[in-house]
Amino acid sequence: MGNMGKTFKGMIISAVTAWLVVFAGAAVSALLVYKGVIGEKGLKAAVNIIYFISCFAAVLISRRNFESRSFLKGAAAGMLFFATLFIVSAVFGDGRGVSDALTAFTLCALGGMLAGMLA
């Protein structure tokens, strides 16, 4: 498999991993809200932390597929995750504002880039 194929495989692995981490984080957050441990502000913070951790973990797991320029490929993987997140939010009518979307984009890109630099 060529370098391009390996990079594409890494992007797909990182996107799937990021979604799995988001689902796990959402389940934990839902449990914390149900138990009354966190409120609305705490939930917003938890969602942002989950976005960052999911992209960071996803790139760390798939880093062996990014041989060179891994910080750029990590940022691209974070942006790919954000793009899928944005599409899903648009389809299901999430209703979040532009500032929330920019925050999520920044956290996803930085999480992927930081993991790529550490790889």
**What Rg do the C-alpha atoms of the chain give, in angstroms?**
15
At residue 27's C-alpha, the angle toward residues 37 and 13, to 5°, is 140
Residue 59 has a pLDDT of: 82
| pLDDT at residue 113, as a whole number | 87
pTM of the model: 0.82
Q: Mean pLDDT, consecutive 10-residue segments, the chain of 119 residues?
A: 67 82 91 89 89 88 71 82 85 73 89 84
The number of domains in the chain is 1
Res 1: pLDDT: 52
The pLDDT value given to residue 31: 93
Range of the domain at 95: 3-118
